[in-house]
Structure formats: structure tokens, C-alpha cells
């Protein structure tokens, strides 16, 4: 998957860890922006306002 099967040993391991790290950073930024945009509306909806 992700075309990394051709890599070997340490390089493949480093790329795998790098992919997880990159996904984590992207999710942190993406969900952060989503929380800022939708957070107040969700809070209002839960609060029944």
C-alpha cells in the first residue's frame, strides 16, 4: 500500500513511521480548523439554544 512495498528494511520502516506522523499532523490541523468552525454551533445545538 502507498507504493512503499518496494522499499526495504530501515527505509521502509522510516517511511511508515513518517506516514503515521504526517497523518497525525494533518489530522491535528484539519480537525482543529473543523472544531473552530463548527464547535460553537455544536455547543449551541447540544445546549438546546
* Site membership for other proteins, residue 3 (CB under 8 A): no
Shortest CB 12 distance to other proteins, Å: 7
Distance of CA 48 to the CA centre of its chain: 30
Cα distances (angstroms) measured from residue 33 to each of 7, 21, 27, 36: 35, 19, 10, 5
Per-residue binding string, other proteins, 4-33, x by CB under 8 A, is -----xx-xxx-xx-xxx-xxx-xx--xx-
Question: How many CB atoms are located within 10 Å of the residue 16 CB?
Answer: 14
Which positions lie near other proteins, rule CB under 8 A? Answer: 1-2, 9-10, 12-14, 16-17, 19-21, 23-25, 27-28, 31-32, 35, 39, 43, 46-48
Amino acid at each position: 500500500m502507498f507504493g512503499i512495498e518496494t522499499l526495504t528494511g530501515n527505509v521502509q520502516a522510516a517511511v511508515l513511521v513518517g506516514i503515521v506522523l504526517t497523518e497525525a499532523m494533518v489530522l491535528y490541523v484539519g480537525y482543529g480548523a473543523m472544531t473552530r468552525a463548527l464547535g460553537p454551533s455544536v455547543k449551541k445545538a447540544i445546549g438546546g439554544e
